[in-house]
Amino acid sequence: MMNARVTSADERQMANAIRALAMDAVQAANSGHPGMPMGMADVATVLFNRFVALDVADDKWPNRDRFVLSAGHGSMLIYALNHLLGYDDMGLDQLRNFRQLGSRTAGHPEYGHAKGIEVTTGPLGQGISTAVGMALSERLGNARFGDLIDHFTYVIAGDGCLMEGISHEAIDLAGHLGLGHLIVMWDDNRITIDGDTELSTSTDQMARFAASGWHVLACDGHNPAEIADTIEAARNDPRPSMIACRTIIGYGAPNKQGSHSVHGAPLGADEIAAARAELGWPHAPFEIPQDVYAAWAKVAARGAKAHAAWQARRDGSDKRDTLDAHLAQDMAPLTTAMAAYKAQLLADKPKVATRKASEMALGVVNAALPFTIGGSADLTGSNLTRTKGQLPVKPGDFSGSYMHYGIREHGMAAAMNGIALAGLFRPYGGTFLVFADYARPAIRLAALMGVPSVFVMTHDSIGLGEDGPTHQPVETLAGLRAIPNLTVLRPADAVETAEAWEIAMATTDGPVLLALSRQGLPTLRDNVDENQTARGAYLLRGGDDRQVTLIATGSEVDLAMTAADQLGAEGITAAVVSAPSFELFAGQPDDYRRATLGTAPRIGIEAAIRQGWDAMLRQKDGFVGMTGFGASAPAPALYAQFGITAEAVAAKAKSLI
Ligand SMILES: Cc1ncc(C[n+]2csc(CCOP(=O)(O)OP(=O)(O)O)c2C)c(N)n1
Ligand SMILES: [Mg+2]
């Protein structure tokens, strides 16, 4: 263990290297945020120099400490750190090309662009909330693997992160669970873009964290001994810790520090020269003296040693194989179990809501895969996300695999992303589809990062009935389909729902969202030879010599089948295409898509607005769905009221052919 009282004579210069790289890179780019990296350079230096354990030669080492720069606008802080630590993909060329096309040094830190960046940050509040998921994953891992998983999660968050509403959900959850290895360093500089924080807040942040069950501390963020003492105390407290680090934004720039003018603009040549004099840093831009590199190399060397010690522990551990299985996330057991389950569905032909079918499929998933972590934002009995034998995760007991996230959709989604990023578990979590909007910024980040969180969203249309228009999604599906790299699945029956879960678990490069019905639906499929849902859309009925093609999703596929029956009785041949995923269909070969959709007139059917359906409909085609908000009534009355009926579909078909 590090001794907080060992000070290094080099720390001031190690921090100044961060300051110089930040001001020079921002100046070179003529864009960026020098204030935060310069202000937090001392805190970051002490944190890394004395505490953080990571291995630049293996940035995915499972028990590495996590460092999350929640104040992502200060991205030059992490780029400078990663350069000084010696990551081989963060050479000076990257810093010189800060914010330029093709460089790893994007405007805000982006997961996957460079080693040592654990999560994409920039939307304020997301980093700290994602870090809660990482710290939760660490506790879950610790309960299963003992000292093979016991790392810390360190966060640097600014005033903005703490003002964002999501921070409260995250803080509340972390405090409740007692995530003792989570340490948040708050950049208490009392400045945001508009000016002094007095303009917009009078919250006592330390009291707020304390009220949520956190251990709170304060330090002078430019005093290495105080910084180290507080971090040491934080590490030794069983609660999550927040350290208010009183800092001066832009520290070292003599005429601009302490002012919002250094938040997000280059300092300018004169002020940079003055800062060099003030800091005692005579070196040219992007020039770091060898002794400073050497001091940072010691930090990397200590991390490499910690990794080696961990490797020895792991090699001798009886938990080695189960840990490896978690890390590998082998899906083979699921494939076998699902094949048997789907065959049984064909025999049983259950008439169940797809949320119920999801619960049934999840029973198979959770039994086959030991690394799922389920949950719901206080709608467990509605989302049907908890399966037999799943025990709740509780303060002091992290052996369970089911999270009661509380009424915190946004915090849940961010925490799920953190769990997924940590690499040990596969998270899924539920709420009502209409509240996807409450979680949207985190869903978007999952998509941007390519992180496999699975969102289980039930009550997916006016079909939820009596709860009325506040709870009835109409534009939600369109909004979700608009997010690049998010796979939206709206299965029609129990077979498609099982297939949707197979797809969700097999997808490792992006989030998947399941839109599920409240109301019961018959089993429509009569074969399970191929995962047809993976095609995105497929011919469920007919196809040859069709006069019209009815394309529907989810609960409306049954309605399309009834309409096809009615048309058939009048001698009109209708094909029915079930289209559970627009994204997966868009990824199919052209000839498959053409053959599926056919050349006959098409009618799209979905109890939602038409936006997005142009992917499958041409201008002359028809659409039966919603044009405005819903209403409160039993579901059948609402479908009749809004004209989403087999009769309406049949009438539209006749008008088109
Ligand atoms: C959700 C979100 N809203 C707005 C912004 C734009 N923005 C970036 S930094 C910032 C001010 C943040 O203040 P603080 O965290 O105190 O940073 P400091 O100025 O101290 O570096 C704002 C509003 C953002 N990045 N994310
Ligand atoms: Mg600030």
pLDDT digits (tens, 9 = 90+) for 429-483: 999 999 999 999 999 999 999 999 999 999 999 999 999 999 999 999 999 999 9
Return the exposure string of 581-611: e unless at least 16 CB atoms fall within 10 Å of the residue's CB, then b.
Answer: bbbbbeebeeeebeebbbebbbbbbbbbbbe
Ligand 1 atom 8: the closest Cα is on which residue? 73
Among 226, 409, 556, 606, which one carries the catalytic annotation? Answer: 409
What pLDDT score does 42 carry? 98
621 CA → ligand 1 middle, Å: 46
Task: Give the span between the Cα atoms of 426 and 44, in whole angstroms.
Answer: 31
Q: Is the pLDDT of residue 93 over 60?
A: yes
Amino acid at site 640: A
Q: How confident is the model at residue 111 (pLDDT cuts 50, 70, 90)?
A: very high
Ligand 1 atom 23: the closest Cα is on which residue? 193
Helix segments in 154-266, DSSP class H: 159-163, 165-177, 205-211, 224-236
Q: Tell me if residue 216 falls in helix, strand or coil.
A: strand
Ranges of beta strands (E only) in 566-628 are: 574-578, 602-606, 622-625
Angle of helix 556-569 relative to helix 646-656, nearest 10 degrees, comes to: 60
What pLDDT score does 4 carry? 44
User: Which of 26, 69, 108, 124 for a ligand 1 pocket mutation test, highest count of atoms within 8 Å of Cβ?
Assistant: 124
Ligand 1 atom 9: the closest Cα is on which residue? 73
71 CA → ligand 2 middle, Å: 9
Q: Is 232 one of the annotated active-site residues of the chain?
A: no
Q: What φ, ψ does residue 432 adopt, rounded to 5°?
A: -75, 145
216 CA → ligand 2 middle, Å: 18
What pLDDT score does 7 carry? 47
Q: Is the pLDDT of residue 511 over 90?
A: yes
What is the rounded average pLDDT for all residues in the chain? 97
Atom of ligand 1 nearest to the CA of 125: 1
Q: Where does residue 55 fall: left (phi above 0), alpha (psi -120 to 50 degrees), or beta otherwise?
A: beta
191 CA → ligand 2 middle, Å: 4
Which letter does DSSP use for residue 628 in this model? S
200 CA → ligand 2 middle, Å: 12
Residue 188 Cβ contacting ligand 1 at under 6 Å: no
Q: Is the pLDDT of residue 391 over 60?
A: yes
Under a CB-based contact definition with an 8 Å cutoff, are residues 365 and 501 in contact? yes
Residue 124 Cβ contacting ligand 1 at under 6 Å: yes
Cβ neighbourhood burial of 244 (10 Å; 0-12, 13-18, 19+) = buried
**Mean pLDDT, range 352-377, rounded to an integer:** 98
What pLDDT score does 9 carry? 54
192 CA → ligand 1 middle, Å: 6
Q: How confident is the model at residue 627 (pLDDT cuts 50, 70, 90)?
A: very high
Residue 22 Cβ contacting ligand 1 at under 6 Å: no
Q: Tell me if residue 466 falls in helix, strand or coil.
A: coil
Per DSSP bridges, beta strands 195-196 and 191-192 are antiparallel
Atom of ligand 1 nearest to the CA of 74: 21
Residue 122 Cβ contacting ligand 1 at under 6 Å: yes
What pLDDT score does 8 carry? 53
Among the ranges given (7-21, 158-172, 180-194, 640-654), the one the predictor scored with the smallest mean pLDDT: 7-21
Residue 444 Cβ contacting ligand 1 at under 6 Å: no
Atom of ligand 1 nearest to the CA of 163: 15
